[in-house]
Amino acid sequence: MSNERAWPQAADAHSLTASQSPHAVSTTWGRWRFGMLALITIVLALSSRDRAALSVGGTDMSRELGISTIEIGYLFSAFSWAMSFS
């Protein structure tokens, strides 16, 4: 069995229990990867939606809350930093 994944190494053939097969382990990792990809996609979609709403309502919000244009820029950049880290 080729070990293409570097993490975790507990999925190697020598560490499988009697009830597990290499196919079952790879299926489990495939589901985990798909779940993480779905979670990241949902979070990025919500973040993009929030940033779009902030860009539309930013001028009214800054006027009502007394936020300067520099502080609005900080809010916009917070979304950019969050997307770059994910």
What is the four-CA torsion angle of 24, 29, 31, 33, rounded to 10 degrees? -170
- CA 64 from chain centre, in angstroms, equals 32
Q: Is the pLDDT confidence value at 29 over 80?
A: no
- What does residue 17 show for φ and ψ, rounded to 5 degrees? -80, 175
51 contacts 76 by C-beta, under 8 angstroms: yes
pLDDT at 5: 56
DSSP 53-78: HHHHHHHHHHHHHT--HHHHHHHHHH
Mean pLDDT of all residues belonging to the chain = 75
